[in-house]
Chains A and B, each alone.
Chain A
């Protein structure tokens, strides 16, 4: 590896090659014509745009290969405007390339660094003027200024306090509670066990007084799924078996990973798949995570039937639903 190399000599800028239009007047005229045609094409584009905007009805569709059925109005104004803009650019670039001077020009660079005299005078000026302030001597001013600026900077942060309520208990509770009926989502109809055959899945919400006006923030926690399997297929502890009813098992629909609804059920394998990051939950073992980044099984909801035979929650969720958070296990 050589360090003090004698490089090959710099042959200097290559010899300038003239363009046709530089020497041949016919070529020059041709180039001019070409540039003008490009600009005129742009004008045509604008005319197409204006025509399309005003005179093509907005509900006409045309069939084009590759694109399929396309709205004619949108296509007309889009093509017109796009070509109008494009050809201005094409014309300008063609003009520059064929007719404008193309001899390369050399300019000199200067070192970014200021000269030593400039630097010295800068330092001197700052020292002198700043020195007049005598900040070093005036420690009381310095400290009180620091205190004032520091404190006033706190105010905008404090002003932001009402951006939102404190979380308090909201992440720990849902609408589900003992005795609340299970209703379909959508439809808000109560369910009986007979409505679900083996292999079926039902997307449900808790029954509330005004089902037409559920708050999205409640839905985001209350969403649940009921899956019916054969009771013999469930592999749960005794305690968790008591939370099921005739093979119907209920889970929170909100993924324990990042909160997407776990809406995809694969009947043959009895797997629930969350479409966001492909976390896969195994229903017979209590929605245990068998694949993907989720770290916890879906919370199970205890269900049973009421006196009229409708499915109800037997108890609220025994853990917070949805994604994890710092205080989750308190």
Chain B
């Protein structure tokens, strides 16, 4: 006898299934297994932040006026009464002071953007350091790099929409970068701005890009990104019971749905609380944009800070030849270096696969210590970006800590060259040390700190053997040998493609050469049998 609830549910299911044949694939997907680890939630935070951006952003579009038409302010914020400003700025003031919930939504939107980018970076680091980008997930990695790039641009355009003094300065800098491009720069800049800077068309144009074009592309890329994760199944950390050929976790219905769905509300709630308690982007204090004014201590939002830092520390290089000018002081830090960094980042999975010769699928994640060179490369890149980011705030550091800005600049210029290789060396050493420690744990057990005197007078520290689960976790990883460059054959003829394979074998040795050999079953048995 069916209950009323069962009857209704059955009716709905029947309606849908008769029209879509959904029963089979819905059932299959409701049982899908998702591994559970806190580090897998970083990508979720990025996803949920994006949804929050869409919702709060849509709210804002109902009042925002994307126009640079000039008017005189006469509204609730009396300090700006009588001041000339654009309609875009005025509508942002209106949202902040006259629309109930307007300031809350503006702040939620801005905080969500900061969280979106921070979560993407954290997620990227997790994926990198655990090697989750390896086959078959290289495409997803590239999609991720694309999403990060789009996110940075989208955020920049977003905070420039209110046309305030601080963000307008950022637009001026962006225009200078476009204009600096050789041959086509001035044309591109004039086309983008509809004429000279600042013109009257830029805000309406970036409005379309910010509200329609980029969100659309991001939405499409996120969809493919998630579909790939769904279809390829999520990676999992190594451990007892976990292999390359299985997924251990919880099913979508009910556990993962509840946890992931609940987490969405948690992220949303925290973001709204941030918007309620923490002021962000108080554009009424900055004033409307005019090209003759500027505030000291002007900074972009954090995710652009590294770009600004690179530009600030750039040497004053410009080439003048045959009546033409190339501004290396703009192009190098603003376009060329970031281009190299992001291209290298996008191609990294393929570089690593080529260097290691590893063509297999990987679904078990690496513990970072077991891939010392990759981890060291990651630490090196992160150090570079952090030094650049710190330099983006060098004027504020100078004023807050009463330091000389000249010294800070020279400090960061030297640091950005010295610190990354240092970080590489230190990280690699730490990883190898940790590998050694793991080996000691497996072979000799855990040091308990208990000292015992044996009958014949010797003092020993009692070592407690680790559990078989832990021992398995510490030795489950694979240790590959570096690729050898094929040497000359019997007749002394060097093989073709010499340079390429030489580079490959060098990279291979760098990536795989130094490892602490993990203990084998024989090693453990040897210890157990002849041990004191």
Residues on A lying within 8 angstroms of B by beta carbon are 1-3, 5-14, 53, 58, 67, 71, 73-75, 77-79, 81-93, 95-97, 100-102, 104-109, 111-112, 160, 163-167, 170-171, 185, 203, 205, 216-217, 219-221, 223, 253-254, 257-261, 263-264, 275-279, 289, 291-296, 322-330
Contacts and interface: CB of A to CB of B under 8 A. Distances in A.
B33 interface: yes
A196 B176 CA distance: 33
Nearest to A329: B323
Contacts of B233: 107, 109
Contacts of A163: 191-192, 194
Nearest to B136: A112
Nearest to A205: B292
B457 interface: no
Contacts of A166: 187, 190
5 contacts: A5-B520, A9-B521, A83-B269, A86-B266, A259-B172
Contacts of A53: 100-101
Nearest to B107: A78
B195 A100 contact: no
A89 B265 contact: yes
B331 to A, nearest CB: 10
Given A9-B472, A78-B273, A167-B187, 18 more contacts: A1-B479, A7-B518, A8-B442, A8-B524, A82-B275, A83-B269, A86-B265, A105-B250, A106-B247, A109-B246, A164-B191, A164-B193, A219-B292, A220-B172, A220-B198, A258-B177, A325-B179, A329-B323
B517 A326 contact: no
B518 A5 contact: yes
B292 A261 contact: yes
Interface stretch (B255-263, B343-351, B373-381): B255-263
A156 B487 CA distance: 54
A73 B100 contact: yes
B87 interface: no
B370 interface: no
Given A109-B246, A263-B294, A276 B476 contact: no
B243 to A, nearest CB: 7
Contact of A326 (B186, B264, B267): B186
Interface of B: 31-33, 100-101, 103-104, 136, 169, 172-173, 175-177, 179-183, 185-187, 189-199, 201, 232-233, 240-241, 243-251, 254-255, 258-259, 261-273, 275-277, 290-298, 308, 311-318, 320, 323-327, 329-330, 333, 361, 363, 394-395, 405-406, 409, 442, 468-469, 471-472, 475-476, 479-481, 515, 517-522, 524
Contact of B190 (A164, A253, A278): A164
Contact of A217 (B181, B192, B196, B471): B196
Nearest to A161: B191
A165 B524 CA distance: 77
Nearest to A254: B291
A8 B470 CA distance: 11
Contact of A95 (B258, B268, B361): B258
B240 A93 contact: no
A277 B361 contact: no
Name the residue among B190, B395, B522 with the largest chain A CB count within 10 angstroms.
B190
Contacts of A3: 479-481
Contact of A109 (B247, B293, B327): B247
A96 B187 contact: no
A89 B291 contact: no
The 6 closest A-B pairs by CB, nearest first: A78-B276, A86-B269, A92-B262, A89-B265, A13-B241, A89-B266
A170 B196 contact: yes
Contact of B248 (A13, A261, A327): A13
Contact of A2 (B31, B250, B363, B517): B517
Nearest to A291: B406
A258 B232 contact: no
A326 B480 CA distance: 51
Contact of A289 (B183, B294, B316): B316
A93 B250 contact: no
Given A79-B276, A108-B246, A278-B395, A96 B194 contact: no
B293 A261 contact: yes
